Structure 1
Amino acid sequence: MAPHNVVRVKSGIPGLDDLIQGGFPQGTTVLVTGPTGTGKTTFGAQFVYKGAELYNEPGVIVTLEERVSDLRKEMRSFGWDFQKYEDEGKIALIDGVSSVAGLPSEERFVLEEGLNVEGFLRYIYRVIKAINVKRVLIDSVPSIAIRLREEKNIRELLLRLNTILLEMGVTTILTTEAEDPKRDKLSRYGVEEFIARGVILLDLVEKDIELKRYILIRKMRETKHPMKKYPFEITEEGIVVYPSGEIY
């Protein structure tokens, strides 16, 4: 049984908390993995946005795969007005793309070109402290390695990043690519799932001649959870998990 005194952080994703005893353990780093196009960025963005909207918990998104302006536009399709909470100081979006692409950025928070591991960690630490952040999304782990040109040292980087996040007491979602989840290859580098205290897989399964999305909680420390695949959908209002709709 999981401890009863664990403080839970609501995911903001309908149906998910029913599977993890009410939410993520506070201060946990959760790895959200899966093939391209399974909804990992939306999952993490929803966690941060709903934290600000529903629970008054400030959040940070470090976007390393798309420009902040594109992320805002994409998330607006779910009715999520990130700019509103940015203006209120409840959400900070860190642009980790523009400088690498050689593009100018008008964002308040921008990761500069040529940042090393130390600079990257220090910048994130500063932003988290600045708005008293409770929730963090880093999208994605492979893009950190590429951006910092430190792919060979990804294990050390992730360990240090995770240590900083744990010490600050924030609840974090890291996204990564699963090369072949069917064969238990849950992450690009094979180390991400070991530094995370939780691992959630988003994937697709063929059912009745069409592809269906499913979620599987592979690991969640301090939490009693099922090891089954459950359907989820990306609706007009974001991700919804169906705990009663077990696939198998």
Structure 2
Amino acid sequence: MMSSYFVRRVKSGIPGFDELIEGGFPEGTTVLLTGGTGTGKTTFAAQFIYKGADEYGEPGVFVTLEERAKDLRREMRAFGWDFERLEKEGKVAIVDGVSSTVGLPSEERFVLEDRFNMDNFLRYIYRVVKAINAKRLVIDSIPSIAFRLEEERKIREVLLKLNTILLEMGVTTILTTEAPDPAHGKISRYGIEEFIARGVVILDLQERNIELKRYLLIRKMRETRHSMKKYPFEIGPTGVVVYPSGEIY
């Protein structure tokens, strides 16, 4: 296998994280970001898209299936991230996958239709990626895709198809999912997500000294040497920061 020295890296935009994965994600890879509710998955993924477009010249697409695009923009302003500016500059596209589903009108430029069809979904995402020449993609989240399917059991087939399309597009992708019980090895809801992804990052909340602390674990990252330790991280005024030294608390 080719040495990781020759692998082109995509910077995550997360301070402290890239030094844990030899400088960044392998270009064109699909990474599963998994964790329980409130662990910071959406913020981590949004930071990946925002910093990529704003600092590294890599346009990105954020597909939001959990909340409306305008709500996402508002929440991310708390970190000083002006998504609207980047959208106007053609560097970021936010795909609203919520409004039509719940029967609300949307003024967004990119909106998924209310009748969910996986083939149409994939074609639409492909078109949006090509429209802005995106190098990065986030789909938030896999359980929301499964929820929209007529038969949730089809999720395995759907994820395999999704992975094939993502590899074809050549974008560096973060897929988010729920981890039912990471402490006991259940790191994804459907048990297949971690097998289609070339990288798996787990975000976790653990009780320490009568308060919850945030930890990150790189479970898998192809073409990359990485530690299997848990590293503390926090969500501060400027977003997610990882502490490779472990010195934070």
The TM-score bracket by the shorter chain reads: over 0.9
Instruction: Check conservation: 1:230, 1:246, Cα contact below 8 A.
Output: no
Q: Separation in 1 of the partners of 2:151 and 2:13?
A: 33
Q: 1:246 deviation in Å?
A: 6.7
Which residue in 1 is equivalent to 2:35?
Answer: 34
Q: 1:148 deviation in Å?
A: 3.1
Q: Separation in 1 of the partners of 2:156 and 2:173?
A: 17
Q: 1:2 deviation in Å?
A: 4.6
Q: Separation in 2 of the partners of 1:168 and 1:138?
A: 14
Q: Separation in 2 of the partners of 1:107 and 1:153?
A: 29
Q: Separation in 2 of the partners of 1:156 and 1:122?
A: 16
Instruction: Check conservation: 1:229, 1:246, Cα contact below 8 A.
Output: no
User: What are the superposed Cα offsets for residues 154-208 of structure 1, whole Å, 9 maximum, x if unpaired?
Assistant: 1111111111111111000000000000010000100000000000000011212
Q: Separation in 1 of the partners of 2:186 and 2:110?
A: 34
Answer yes or no: is 1:210 the counterpart of 2:197: no
Superposition map of 1:119-138 within 5 A: 119-138=120-139
**CA RMSD between the two structures:** 1.2
Q: Separation in 2 of the partners of 1:125 and 1:150?
A: 24
Which residue in 1 is equivalent to 2:242?
Answer: 241
Identity %: 74
Amino acid at match of 2:177: T
Superposition map of 1:193-208 within 5 A: 193-208=194-209
Which residue in 1 is equivalent to 2:74?
Answer: 73
Which residue in 1 is equivalent to 2:165?
Answer: 164
Which residue in 1 is equivalent to 2:12?
Answer: 11
Unaligned runs of 5+ in 2: none
Amino acid at match of 2:79: F
Q: Separation in 2 of the partners of 1:109 and 1:3?
A: 37
What's the secondary structure of 2:4's corresponding residue? coil
Q: Separation in 1 of the partners of 2:3 and 2:245?
A: 22
Which residue in 2 is equivalent to 1:56?
Answer: 57
Which residue in 1 is equivalent to 2:220?
Answer: 219
Which residue in 2 is equivalent to 1:191?
Answer: 192
Instruction: Check conservation: 1:114, 1:148, Cα contact below 8 A.
Output: no
Q: 1:61 deviation in Å?
A: 0.4
Q: Separation in 1 of the partners of 2:3 and 2:236?
A: 32
Answer yes or no: is 1:101 the counterpart of 2:102: yes
What's the secondary structure of 1:4's corresponding residue? helix
Q: 1:150 deviation in Å?
A: 4.0
Which residue in 2 is equivalent to 1:44?
Answer: 45
TM-score under structure 2 length normalisation? 0.97
Which residue in 2 is equivalent to 1:154?
Answer: 155
Q: 1:3 deviation in Å?
A: 2.4
User: What are the superposed Cα offsets for residues 49-87 of structure 1, whole Å, 9 maximum, x if unpaired?
Assistant: 000010010000000000000000000000000000000
Q: Separation in 1 of the partners of 2:195 and 2:247?
A: 27
Q: Separation in 2 of the partners of 1:131 and 1:157?
A: 25
Unaligned runs of 5+ in 1: none
Amino acid at match of 2:19: D
What's the secondary structure of 1:77's corresponding residue? helix
Q: Separation in 2 of the partners of 1:43 and 1:7?
A: 21
Q: Separation in 2 of the partners of 1:32 and 1:3?
A: 21
Which residue in 1 is equivalent to 2:113?
Answer: 112
